[in-house]
Amino acid sequence: MAENQCRTSYRDSQSMLDAIKESQTTQKSLSSLARKHGVGYDALRRRVNGEVQPNAITGRVQGLQPGEEDALVLFALQMAGQGLGLTRAMLKARVMTLVAGRPHAFQEHGPSDKWIGQFLSRHLELAERLPEKLSTLRVKGSTVEIISRHFVQLGELIEEYQYPPSLIWNADETSGRINGKEDKIIAARGLLFPPLFGSATPK
């Protein structure tokens, strides 16, 4: 049986709500209340401690919520479209920004590579690809209109998503990549070699 089929659902469970209410009015232990009301101890404890909402489906601390995951997909696509495709490490950093300030299931350094793989499997519009150096495309793409539109869109993204300093790049390409082995980046599926902002030669 699949893991998510083994977990008890407590959404709209009157037994769970009764157990939570009684925990607030008595000195009984949570383990005794869990047995009395027929609910899981860990599920009850996490609700009483405020780690999950009382009507959460299970007592397990969740990773990304659906709205947060949708925002992450949009963020990855927009960054890739600007020639700043996210590596796995950058995607993990973004995830930790999304869950900052609330309980979550991730480790200190962000989600595992297994989680990233499952995330990509859930969102087939994304794929990992080796990037093409943007320097080879500048002759065709570095027009005044394109560059102006880039900075307008970038400003809108920074204002909307409140990027942390770790994702703000210097305009003089100091943080741009140089020639050498490139990590795969996350981009729209179907692009074999998505463009990547970077320097043409090492400095």
Residue 145 is encoded by which pair of tokens? 């209109």
Say what the pLDDT of residue 68 is: 87
Has residue 115 been placed in a domain?
Answer: yes
Say what the pLDDT of residue 55 is: 64
- Asked if residue 162 and residue 72 are part of one domain, the reply reads yes
Question: What are the mean pLDDT values of the chain's consecutive 10-residue runs (203 residues total)?
Answer: 41 77 90 87 81 61 78 90 85 90 80 90 89 60 74 83 70 49 76 56 41
Counting the structural domains of the chain, the total is 2
In angstroms, the first-to-last Cα distance of the chain is: 56
Between the alpha carbon of residue 151 and those of residues 36, 75, 157, 158, the distances in Å are 61, 16, 10, 10
- Asked if residue 77 and residue 124 are part of one domain, the reply reads yes
Has residue 59 been placed in a domain?
Answer: no
- Asked if residue 139 and residue 97 are part of one domain, the reply reads yes
**Nearest CA among 43, 31, 4, 6 for reference residue 17:** 43
- Asked if residue 131 and residue 92 are part of one domain, the reply reads yes
- Asked if residue 110 and residue 39 are part of one domain, the reply reads no
- Asked if residue 183 and residue 111 are part of one domain, the reply reads yes
Q: What is the pTM of this model?
A: 0.50
Say what the pLDDT of residue 58 is: 53
- Asked if residue 106 and residue 36 are part of one domain, the reply reads no
Residues 193, 83: Cα–Cα separation, whole Å: 11
Say what the pLDDT of residue 159 is: 82
* Helices of type H across 24-164: 30-37, 41-48, 66-81, 88-98, 113-122, 138-141, 144-161
